[in-house]
Structure 1
Amino acid sequence: MTKTVTVSETTSPTQQSAPTILSISRRPLAGLPILLLAMLTICQLALVTPLHAADSVFTSTTAIKEEAVRFAGEGKLFLKGPVDPYLTGTVVTAGLFGLTYLFDEKIRDEFAGSHHGVMRGITDAGNAVGNPLLHLGVAAAFYGAGAVTDQTKVMQLGEEMGEALLLADGATFLLKGVIGRGRPYQVDSSSSYRPFQFKDGYDSLPSMHTASSFALAHVVADKTDNFYGKAACYAAAGLAGFSRVYQTKHWASDVVLGAAIGELAGAAVTRYRNAPAGSVTLAPMSIEGAPALALLGKF
């Protein structure tokens, strides 16, 4: 059972934008067949289920408020995660990042040149399935289908996917512009930076494709009891990260940090959802237009 107690509190949002990099030819429709396949699967689920729309963010202001409180709580866990409870993982990730950083240029040179044949096809597929917009579309499709068919588990899966993706994509989007690292096809040195300038070709660190893929993989794997199912989720995420390096769209260390951010985002969502009874968290919210602070807990 979840109880909410509110106390007055003020908040003020900020917003920042950054340009999109289009220096290397992209295939914006490459992931469309996969998205259509996912939507077709969901539609088939809907056909065998009586339509009875459940409360959702599309139909209920209460659901919107609950989602805002929940997302704020997950965001708090996401920010605390590198220190509590994943301090050891943070140290390991920092070491791995530093090691790959030293060899970034050698790895880039190893994969540089003409790409063709089987590996080109595999990494094209990896880039397609790692597209953050495709991931958000799949999450929205699951959420919408679950809401329309009154399938709570389907809707919750889409909800968790979306929350993890927003955390991962939002964090990487912000870091990209702040860090301003040159992409491997843009600069000769892996240590070339233009921080806070939001320049084309200087948004390499971290990899959003990788972060988004690992966030999605964590949420789906959490719902899967089968070891091979979990392994498949992370194999797909790993392929997305490898493809970014193989096609020289990211440095290897970009992918390491992106994977860590994605895993952290997914873990924040599943930890919040699986919080034991007696746990509480504070989160900002709005009540009839007035800023407030919510105390959310399970008792």
Structure 2
Amino acid sequence: MTKTVTVSGRTSPVQQSRSRFLSITCPPALLSFSLLLLIAVFQLALVAPLQAAENVFTSVSAIKEEAGRFAGEGKLFLKGPVDPYLTGTFVTAGLFGLTYLFDEDIRNEFAGSHHGVMRGITDAGNTVSNPLLHLGVAAAFYGTGAVTDQVKVMQLGEEMGEALLLADGATFVLKGAIGRGRPYQTGSNSSYRPFQFKDGYDSLPSMHTASSFALAHVVAAKTESIYGKAACYAAASLAGFSRVYQTKHWASDVILGAAIGELAGAAVTRYRSAPAGSVTVAPVAIEGAPALALLGRF
């Protein structure tokens, strides 16, 4: 005999948290839009005119070039916290530690029902900072540049995509490895379940924030206007604030996410601005055998 027990027809707080986590992390409508955008870009690139610039959709040499470039940028990204941003690393560590002390106070300040103008602003901030949407935007720029033979537009899409892959990849790995409980999941900012990959225990660092700052760095590097640069970082900062305001992340999650995003964007722009003749060494595999490759601009 099977016994069923219902308590006031309501789900438990944990079930509510998991449901909210799933809906926030990957909204079905946004996921569908991003996938459709990627498919459309791919199809447009395939039917691009013959005179269009080589791109990763149609050229093997372009794929190889992109792989080599991404490897070089990855190396700069990994060593960036020590060289050349050691001072920045110490500053970030200090900010992270200080914010960590006040995480729970900040969460409590923003806890409760949200409504009015601030709710609308932070709803928008959460939506436009979704990493899937950012990847779709990068693909759209790249595809448009490939189809219309506008190399600068295609290059901007490349840089966006490379920075996003570095930032999102790093945060994805760290989230699962650290396993920090989200503010709506646990009452303490020091609740961890490392390497368990549980819903609601992937708070540190904030991927939305990292993705937003990576994109902001790349776009800001393309404009000479101080107001344009400020607008890029203001939008990225709104993303981080929105995650904290709506208790999706601890404040210290946002600090680390912003640092990772900025580091990823800087790795891409630094690699591309390297003077001709500069090289870097990166591990590769040749017919299954480990080897080292010299990557650079000549």
TM-score bucket (shorter structure): 0.7 to 0.9
Structure 2 counterparts to residues 129-148 of structure 1, below 5 A: 129-148=128-147
Contact 1:69 1:284 in 2 (8 A): no
Q: Distance in 2 between matches of 1:280 and 1:192?
A: 44
- 1:161: which partner in 2? 160
Residues 107, 51 of structure 1: CA spacing in aligned structure 2 closer, same or farther, 3 A cutoff?
A: farther
Q: TM-score w.r.t. structure 2 length?
A: 0.84
| CA shift for structure 1 position 236 | 0.4
Q: Give the SS at the match of 1:282.
A: strand
- 1:28: which partner in 2? 27
Structure 2 counterparts to residues 81-100 of structure 1, below 5 A: 81-100=80-99
Tell me whether 1:227 sits opposite 2:209 in the alignment.
no
Q: Distance in 1 between matches of 2:229 and 2:28?
A: 27
- 1:183: which partner in 2? 182
Q: Distance in 2 between matches of 1:83 and 1:30?
A: 40
Q: Distance in 1 between matches of 2:49 and 2:199?
A: 49
1:192-239 Cα offsets, whole Å, 9 max, x none, are 000010011000000000000000000000001100000000000000
1:136-160 Cα offsets, whole Å, 9 max, x none, are 0000000011111111000000000
Q: Distance in 2 between matches of 1:261 and 1:212?
A: 9
Residues 145, 177 of structure 1: CA spacing in aligned structure 2 closer, same or farther, 3 A cutoff?
A: same
| CA shift for structure 1 position 282 | 1.6
1:23-78 Cα offsets, whole Å, 9 max, x none, are 3453826769x98xx99xx9xxx9xx988322111111111111111000000000
Q: Distance in 1 between matches of 2:176 and 2:191?
A: 14
- 1:238: which partner in 2? 237
| CA shift for structure 1 position 129 | 1.0
Tell me whether 1:101 sits opposite 2:80 in the alignment.
no
1:82-132 Cα offsets, whole Å, 9 max, x none, are 000000000000000000000000000000000000000000000011000
Q: Give the SS at the match of 1:23.
A: helix
Residues 61, 94 of structure 1: CA spacing in aligned structure 2 closer, same or farther, 3 A cutoff?
A: same
RMSD over aligned Cα, in angstroms?
2.5
Number of residue pairs matched by the alignment: 271
Q: TM-score w.r.t. structure 1 length?
A: 0.84
Relative to structure 2, which stretch is displaced further, 22-31 or 131-140? 22-31
| CA shift for structure 1 position 284 | 3.8
Residues 61, 185 of structure 1: CA spacing in aligned structure 2 closer, same or farther, 3 A cutoff?
A: same
Q: Report the structure number with the largest CA radius of gyration.
A: 2
Contact 2:185 2:200 in 1 (8 A): yes
- Structure 2 counterpart of 1:164, one-letter code: A
Structure with the bigger RCO (C-alpha within 8 Å, sep 6+) is 1
Residues 234, 65 of structure 1: CA spacing in aligned structure 2 closer, same or farther, 3 A cutoff?
A: same
What is the aligned-residue identity percentage? 84
Q: Give the SS at the match of 1:267.
A: helix
Contact 2:49 2:147 in 1 (8 A): no
Contact 1:52 1:149 in 2 (8 A): no
Give 1 or 2: higher helix fraction: 2
Q: Distance in 2 between matches of 1:286 and 1:148?
A: 32
Q: Distance in 2 between matches of 1:275 and 1:172?
A: 26
Q: Distance in 1 between matches of 2:70 and 2:124?
A: 31
Q: Give the SS at the match of 1:294.
A: strand
Contact 1:65 1:286 in 2 (8 A): no
Q: Distance in 1 between matches of 2:284 and 2:70?
A: 10
- 2:71: which partner in 1? 72
Q: Give the SS at the match of 1:296.
A: strand
Question: Which runs of 5 or more structure 2 residues have no equivalent in the other structure?
Answer: 1-17
- Structure 1 counterpart of 2:174, one-letter code: L
- Structure 1 counterpart of 2:163, one-letter code: A
Q: Distance in 2 between matches of 1:66 and 1:235?
A: 33
Structure 2 counterparts to residues 220-299 of structure 1, below 5 A: 220-285=219-284, 292-299=291-298
- Structure 1 counterpart of 2:20, one-letter code: S
